[in-house]
Structure 1
């Protein structure tokens, strides 16, 4: 029998098909573009931090218009029943408040700043801690319009909303939420801007597509257009809110204060000790009721009239707060507290007999201290009045819309194939850092460590995100088969076929 290829022995196994020729393995080239890494970071940070940002936006929106709510809720305390022809001396108003509130320690006086406003007389009480009792006096009739428990001048309503925004009424533990939101907001904004600019650049699109969504698009592309274009419009305002929010956060704020001390950029402290007085008392800050007439101190209430005359002659006018001396040998601290632009925040120390003995003008503060003060006032909606409030409200509503569209994109990217169906979209590809050039990778790692030290909550939560990423990847890997990933802008798609939404 001839030995030909057609000759096959009975019972022999069929020949295996020849293996396809293997080409050279393609090794991804390292790039200077951090887009893959930013895409994955933006995705995970957006999903995990967005709830914190949504709560901060909602509570901030509630706080913005509390001045108007105060005017309605506390109308009797804040306003007089009828404007009279002539107000009584401030010393008489204070005496009326002391008579109505004999148990407290007189701490500060805020004379009426408008013809229809009441004078606020502040008392400290040990059981109230940081809070005070504020008595509202009608300057014309000396009638007591009411008494409220206040916190650094804030009414109970404003204090409640303020605490809700800062810590969700959970104390020090709750402050973590707001610091998470402020720490990650700037990262999400800058990351989103980078990805959107990269997409428009690679697609060679006009600037109009950068600022306005493509209304002809459908599905996830349309949602992404709204998400990204609105984010561009909000970027500057959101970065401002992030920066100013961090300045008085718990851990990042402490680092910021340390930096100001190192740079000698804090606002000047006022020493209320009068010349030749003994023993000296520690310096007192402005506007926080540190000074008070202690139990053993005797305060001449009538001296406040002379103090106000000296203050007026020194140009300290408008809304002011007069802090009562805490002990003998100390002067009266008079501070402007007009927080609207142009701000008036000058301070003086007054001896009722000798006049002004010390002065600190806002114009002489270090620049960083000035910017920090103005930033806080704008963050709270005070600096530009109603315009400031409307802008903050627009930022809050806009941020909520961006968050909703972000989650909608996550849902729209979900795989639809029967064998890969999932309730939400898949994450971007892992390992973006491996594609970076080594100098860029080293610089990024060092920058991340530095930022993590300056913003500890950001650093800790970033480590948490990495842990979640590793756990999710490991769990998906146990299921067998490749882990589906979302395509990266400008990169070949690795999404499962049949999705039709990416």
Structure 2
């Protein structure tokens, strides 16, 4: 969930005059914590929601990339007619090299079914991008060429960059990290506030998952839709936040350091012929192979045959090694159940020199790989795409309802008009039990260190709230009014 007052323990909506005191709670010790959570939920929702809107819209666009690729690049990605038997890889690679004489051959992904064979070339001037030549595996005819980013088409690459960094490079990555760092806070905080409201109200849990449509129109009905929709989305939003953070600039680096400390990274396949580990490796799909300037096309058929005999079924990707090293063959089936085994093949002896089986990965490495594929909409095919699209649309609805509540709670009396509603009252921080402060502060500091774009805005909220509280007390003192409660 996200945005504004879910709990209803703040000022009543649009009522003139002073705010009546809240009724006594059955647990006095819980009230300050709830008040603090409500105020944090309100401010974080109002200020972080724009980042979430952008992430949801760009993520929604990315969910349709498989269909968009087929629409835009179907002539390159698929064949018009499926033949009985594919041509030897040597012929297909030779045809691709004739069509693309420049660059180093990086990988070859043999086509199967109606999929073309992808022959990838690296050029220095392209940086991280490559040229991919698409070959009909049944005729050996070249069907086209695209500039790709580790297998992604130009359209998918453009939408990927839009979602990750708004095409602003490292500077733009801060937006997505802010969104992911606060999404889980807003989701869990909203659920806690809504659950507490249901427990304290007459309806109790009756409308925890279903909005109460019997209420009058206005903020209460809007709150019901905002809260119950958020509850339904919570698991999915927590998943998106967690997997998104693994890709982020700062939190992702801390996540990687944690995997290193636990020795839980994805194992790296050794392609050296002396058994030493190979350098490199990555946690996500955007890995890369060392270019080979003089790979013999005939060797691809030999290496593929050895890999098939070693049990690598389904779609694979062959990466030729440099002279004196083994070639790598990796399964690339990212749909459930995934097939991600790898073998290293010595092209001189046609033997397997090393292997890296998915079954042997650590649990964290497996969960990381599966999470990445699910976040990208690949793990469960079209169903995965539909679920991600539903999460994005649902989050947008929750945000709109949250801002609508903020507007509906505005004072409307002639002498108290305001464009938006007032934030929940201060005072929660000062009323916290000592043990909550003793435990909560170190936890907040630790989370803020691990997720810098959670910690920095949180510190900013606190400082701004303290400053506003100081000015409010001074203003009240000059008027002779009772001093408002301090920040928190």
CA distance in 2: counterparts of 1:196 and 1:462, whole angstroms: 22
Counterpart contact for 1:414–1:426, Cα < 8 Å: yes
Write the deviation string for residues 172-209 of structure 1: whole angstroms up to 9, x where unpaired. Answer: 00000000000000000111011111111111424221
CA distance in 1: counterparts of 2:312 and 2:81, whole angstroms: 27
| Residue correspondences, number | 450
Deviation at 1:281, TM superposition (A): 8.6
CA distance in 2: counterparts of 1:77 and 1:483, whole angstroms: 73
CA distance in 1: counterparts of 2:144 and 2:472, whole angstroms: 64
Counterpart contact for 2:107–2:289, Cα < 8 Å: no
In terms of mean alpha carbon deviation, does 347-356 or 259-268 score higher?
A: 347-356
In terms of mean alpha carbon deviation, does 139-148 or 262-271 score higher?
A: 139-148
Deviation at 1:275, TM superposition (A): 3.5
Q: Could you say if the C-alpha distance between residues 484 and 133 of structure 1 is closer, same or farther in structure 2, counting changes exceeding 3 Å?
A: farther
1:119 is matched with which residue? 117
Residues 1:458 and 2:454 are matched in the alignment:
yes
Deviation at 1:289, TM superposition (A): 2.6
Write the deviation string for residues 236-257 of structure 1: whole angstroms up to 9, x where unpaired. Answer: 1111111111111110010000
Residues 1:347 and 2:342 are matched in the alignment:
yes
Q: Which has the higher contact order (CA 8 A, sep 6+)?
A: 2
CA distance in 2: counterparts of 1:159 and 1:230, whole angstroms: 32
In terms of mean alpha carbon deviation, does 346-355 or 358-367 score higher?
A: 346-355
Deviation at 1:217, TM superposition (A): 1.2
CA distance in 2: counterparts of 1:192 and 1:377, whole angstroms: 28
Segments of 5+ residues of structure 1 without an aligned counterpart are: 1-28, 487-502
Q: Could you say if the C-alpha distance between residues 135 and 484 of structure 1 is closer, same or farther in structure 2, counting changes exceeding 3 Å?
A: farther
CA distance in 2: counterparts of 1:166 and 1:485, whole angstroms: 42
CA distance in 1: counterparts of 2:475 and 2:397, whole angstroms: 36
2:148 is matched with which residue? 150
Residues 1:319 and 2:315 are matched in the alignment:
yes
Counterpart contact for 1:60–1:396, Cα < 8 Å: yes
Residues 1:426 and 2:425 are matched in the alignment:
no
Counterpart contact for 2:226–2:402, Cα < 8 Å: yes
How high is the TM-score relative to the length of structure 1?
0.86
Q: CA RMSD in A?
A: 2.0
CA distance in 2: counterparts of 1:324 and 1:200, whole angstroms: 61
1:31 pairs, out of 19, 26, 29, with 29
Residues 1:435 and 2:431 are matched in the alignment:
yes
2:128 is matched with which residue? 130
CA distance in 2: counterparts of 1:98 and 1:157, whole angstroms: 25
1:359 is matched with which residue? 355
CA distance in 2: counterparts of 1:476 and 1:59, whole angstroms: 40
1:264 is matched with which residue? 263
Counterpart contact for 2:29–2:432, Cα < 8 Å: yes
Counterpart contact for 1:271–1:284, Cα < 8 Å: no
In terms of mean alpha carbon deviation, does 82-91 or 410-419 score higher?
A: 82-91
